[in-house]
Structure 1
């Protein structure tokens, strides 16, 4: 289970977030400040060092936490492909802001004046992503190890458990706050799942997140180069060539339809969604979920 095509294809926001985590963790680690990034009651409530909230959102305090965290962020790029970069950006901001608020409330309740009770790193986003991972990503295969049954999602859960318990109470608390934020997003509080950034803002950030070395042509979700196709079609039109007939969508396999039906979707709707998604079950799941939320 790899979360779709390799790399950050169609996931520029996830790519930018992963790069920010790696770079800031390296910067604070070189300066020897990584272990002092965790939030504490003294820093936030008494001395009001709000910059620590921003730093703790991106920078991990140790290399093992960085490795597990980046692995999970890389896998969860699948949600940006399902939602689109605009909605995924809203999901990222909602998860980080709400989980940070829960963490600050927890600090006020603990009132620990000295210890860093909350570990540093994007625990809010990572563990918020486990909520749609649990509800929206189906198990596609099962296997047994030493008589115990596992699914292809098990490795993601094990990586999440390792990160959740990496610093015991310091990492357990932000992980739980992230899960609460993800649950609120899943419940669609305040209609958050329908919110999008305005087109002008989305265009601005799409240019910001775009790779500086990217080609001017655009890659379509199925791997074709959109710029080359459009230019080729234009040349055909100018030369009065007959239009190229598009191949009909492939007939969905019954196993894919059965999997979507087992998730609670109607069989006819599942078939149509799979045909529209050209048998990509993750994209089809997102189409059905979007239709239900309208």
Structure 2
């Protein structure tokens, strides 16, 4: 699964989070100082250092966790494109704060030194993102491997499981806290899903200059048919006879089979460079408003 358009087009907040995670992980993890970054009972209920709390939210504890975590953060940028950077920034703040609070409560309840410190990194955001991934991202491909029934979403789940169990209970607690935070956001506690940051705040992320992470995006040419793409019938009237099934028509048929009308499907596909997953997200969001 690609997660939509390549790069961080229309996803500046996701780009900032991925860059921050990479920089913090390199600065603290590769120097061998990551063992004390995560939350623990002593540094939470003793002398809490703000810099350590901030670092624990971004720096992954090891290189494999950084690889899997950054890949998942990159994929989940699709949600920022779906709801917009303003609302996605609220989702990040909410899921992170709730996840940290749940981790602190867990440490207070367990008081087990074997869990100290918990694994550091943006676990709250990553696993909170699995909630909209589960409910809103449709399955587009199914296949079997060694008798197992899998789908195109299975690889994202497997990456999450690898990250969740990477450090035993030290990583399970932050992961479960993130999942609960995602559920609370979906339940729209205190109307949180209607909140969004002002443009002046989210525009700061757009000004971050990272040329190696920015991909240019060109919209496909628009035709006169439905204002978006040419149909097979239009091509035939122009003397063009496709030898195989039009992939655009196949994408439209997929969305129509999911219950969306053809006109809305065409518009959503045109806006997303004909990415079926992202187009379905836009249509689902439109229905929920």
Verify same fold: TM over 0.5. Answer: yes
Distance in 2 separating the partners of 1:64 and 1:255 = 36
Distance in 1 separating the partners of 2:277 and 2:168 = 34
The aligned residue for residue 274 of structure 1 is 265
3-state DSSP of counterpart to 2:129 = helix
Distance in 1 separating the partners of 2:19 and 2:200 = 24
Displacement of 1:25:
0.7
The aligned residue for residue 284 of structure 2 is 289
The aligned residue for residue 235 of structure 2 is none
Displacement of 1:174:
0.3
Identify which of structures 1 and 2 has the higher relative contact order when contacts are C-alpha pairs closer than 8 Å and 6+ apart: 2
The aligned residue for residue 186 of structure 1 is 186
| Greater mean deviation of Cα atoms: 276-285 or 76-85 | 276-285
Displacement of 1:286:
3.1
1:107-256 alignment runs, 5 A limit: 107-112=107-112, 116-207=116-207, 209=208, 211=210, 223-224=218-219, 248-250=227-229, 253-256=252-255
The aligned residue for residue 233 of structure 1 is none
Q: TM-score normalised to the size of structure 1? A: 0.81
The aligned residue for residue 65 of structure 2 is 65
3-state DSSP of counterpart to 1:52 = helix
Q: TM-score normalised to the size of structure 2? A: 0.82
Distance in 2 separating the partners of 1:8 and 1:202 = 15
Q: 1:282 to 1:33 in 2, by over 3 A?
A: same
Q: 1:205 to 1:144 in 2, by over 3 A?
A: closer
Distance in 1 separating the partners of 2:156 and 2:282 = 24
Displacement of 1:212:
6.4
RMSD, matched Cα: 2.6
Residue by residue over 1:114-171, the C-alpha shift from the partner in whole angstroms, topping out at 9 and shown as x without a partner, is 8524111111011001111111111110111111111011111011001000000000
Residues 4, 278 of structure 2: 8 Å contact kept? no
The aligned residue for residue 244 of structure 2 is none
3-state DSSP of counterpart to 1:78 = helix
Distance in 2 separating the partners of 1:214 and 1:49 = 32
**5+ residue gaps in structure 2?**
232-248
**5+ residue gaps in structure 1?**
230-243, 262-266
Residue by residue over 1:213-268, the C-alpha shift from the partner in whole angstroms, topping out at 9 and shown as x without a partner, is 899xx966xx249xxx9xxxxxxxxxxxxxx986522366322211x33xxxxx43
Residues 35, 62 of structure 1: 8 Å contact kept? no
Displacement of 1:52:
2.2
3-state DSSP of counterpart to 2:149 = strand
3-state DSSP of counterpart to 2:185 = helix
Q: 1:4 to 1:280 in 2, by over 3 A?
A: closer
Displacement of 1:210:
5.0
